[in-house]
């Protein structure tokens, strides 16, 4: 039963006791209805001024019944109302001071990030810069409050439970990113995610190459070897620092160069695109499981091809519209 339903029930019980007590006290004690009503109210509220006392056995028994029933009904009524008011005040506090822990956005087609560290923070910022909503799941209350105070949409709970995953919107999300470094927890989370939703894309970190296959068997769609990527960028800083800067720039959506991927809905050659004003560069075309890197200008793009393009961020918006046009 809902809270409001419970309150209405208690009020109905109190009203019934008030009517019943008024008529019975009047009959048993031979007093008028007004005094009987006054007496019933004082008994129900357990005030009992003592100006009217029961004299007959029937009145005394009725007095006992109404006292106990009144105490129970009043106690339940007060407890329910106070609980509802406290809940409302807490929701108001969280929505005002800790928005991420208040009422959740009605997220859909978002990304769930499990765990919070430097990898999570970078992923969250990148998603935000690309206009993609994200929900961060953490199992540490202090960390959840800290993130919420910064405006992060955070879900506090155990990622290995159905309840927490559903609160994060697992059924409506486009992907899940898991940045937990503990292999034991990572495997548990992957198995749970797959158990709740088998078709969702799951991207996770790898600490050792020997565990990559295990993570994929547990449910990871993509395993990112962060240490390998970072190591290569560090090395490039020694003998090709400019190339390293370009690579770092392409991984961030804020400024400079950016990468975009999309599936084509038209057939057109790269030369025809250039004639239409297309300035970005197509780095990769994937068709039927085969990949072609840096295709020639006379290459014919087909419907259903997946392409990866690179270009200046502001220019990419125009070029993406060209690629998204339908025949």
Backbone angles phi, psi at 96, to 5 degrees: -85, -45
- pLDDT above 90 for 226: no
User: Any idea what DSSP says for residue 52?
Assistant: S
Amino acid 99: pLDDT: 47
Amino acid 17: pLDDT: 81
CATH fold of 255-324: Alpha-Beta Plaits (3.30.70)
Sheet holding 257-263, edge to edge: 257-263, 306-312, 281-287, 290-293
In the chain, where the domains are located = 3-97, 111-229, 255-324
Amino acid 73: pLDDT: 75
pTM (2 d.p.): 0.59
Q: Which residue has the tokens 């990113």?
A: 177
Per-residue model confidence as pLDDT tens digits over 54-75: 788 888 888 788 778 777 777 7
Tell how strand 281-287 and strand 290-293 pair up. Answer: antiparallel
Amino acid 86: pLDDT: 59
Amino acid 97: pLDDT: 45
Rounded mean pLDDT of 289-310?
A: 92
Amino acid 81: pLDDT: 66
- pLDDT above 90 for 248: no
**82 near 89, Cβ under 8 Å?**
no
**310 near 281, Cβ under 8 Å?**
yes
pLDDT, greater one: 31 or 103: 31
Alpha helices in the chain (DSSP H): 3-29, 33-44, 57-97, 118-129, 141-149, 162-167, 183-196, 212-218, 226-239, 241-250, 270-275, 313-324
Question: Which CATH architecture fits 111-229?
Answer: 3-Layer(aba) Sandwich (3.40)
Per-residue model confidence as pLDDT tens digits over 102-125: 445 567 889 999 999 999 998 999
The overall average pLDDT reported for the chain is: 82
Per-residue model confidence as pLDDT tens digits over 170-225: 999 999 999 988 888 999 999 999 999 999 999 998 877 788 888 999 999 999 88
User: Any idea what DSSP says for residue 211?
Assistant: G
pLDDT, greater one: 300 or 56: 300
Tell how strand 268-269 and strand 281-287 pair up. Answer: unpaired
Separation of alpha carbons 238 and 233, rounded Å: 9
Rounded mean pLDDT of 238-244?
A: 80
What's the pLDDT band for 18 if we cut at 50, 70, 90? confident
Going 190 to 193 to 199 to 204, the CA torsion angle's sign is negative
Nearest to 198 by CA among 179, 224, 171: 171
Amino acid 25: pLDDT: 81
pLDDT, greater one: 74 or 292: 292
Q: How far apart are the first and last CA of the chain?
A: 56
Where does 3-97 sit in CATH, by number? 1.10.287.70
- pLDDT above 80 for 53: no
What's the pLDDT band for 14 if we cut at 50, 70, 90? confident
What's the pLDDT band for 20 if we cut at 50, 70, 90? confident
- pLDDT above 70 for 165: yes
Do 3-97 and 111-229 share a fold?
A: no
């Amino acid at each position: 039963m809902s809270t409001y339903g419970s309150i209405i029930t208690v009020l109905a019980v109190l009203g019934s006791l008030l009517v019943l007590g008024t008529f019975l006290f009047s009959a048993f004690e031979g007093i008028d209805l007004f005094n009987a009503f006054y007496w019933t109210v004082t008994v129900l509220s357990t005030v009992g001024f003592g100006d009217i006392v029961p004299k007959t056995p029937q009145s005394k028994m009725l007095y006992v019944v109404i006292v106990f029933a009144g105490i129970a009904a009043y106690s339940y009524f007060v407890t329910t109302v106070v609980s509802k008011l406290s809940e409302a005040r807490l929701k108001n506090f969280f929505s005002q001071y800790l928005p991420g822990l208040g009422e959740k956005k009605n997220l859909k087609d978002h990304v769930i990030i499990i765990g919070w560290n430097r990898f999570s923070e970078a992923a969250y910022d990148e998603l935000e810069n690309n206009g993609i909503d994200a929900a961060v799941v953490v199992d540490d209350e202090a960390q959840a409050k800290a993130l919420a105070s910064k405006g992060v949409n955070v879900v506090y709970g155990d990622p290995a439970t159905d309840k927490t995953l559903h609160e994060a919107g697992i059924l409506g999300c486009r992907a899940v990113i898991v940045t937990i470094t503990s292999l034991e927890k990572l495997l548990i989370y992957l198995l749970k995610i797959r158990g709740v939703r088998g078709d969702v894309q799951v991207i996770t970190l790898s600490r050792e190459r020997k565990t990559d296959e295990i993570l994929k068997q547990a449910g990871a769609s993509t395993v990112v070897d962060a240490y390998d990527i970072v190591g290569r960028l560090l090395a490039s800083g020694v003998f090709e620092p400019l190339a390293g800067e370009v690579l770092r720039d392409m991984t961030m959506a804020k400024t400079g160069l950016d990468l975009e991927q999309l599936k084509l809905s038209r057939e057109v050659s790269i030369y025809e695109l250039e004639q239409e004003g297309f300035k970005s560069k197509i780095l990769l075309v994937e068709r039927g499981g085969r990949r072609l890197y840096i295709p020639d200008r006379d290459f014919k793009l087909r419907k259903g091809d997946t392409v990866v393009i690179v270009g200046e961020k502001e220019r990419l918006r125009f070029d993406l519209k060209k690629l998204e046009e339908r025949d």
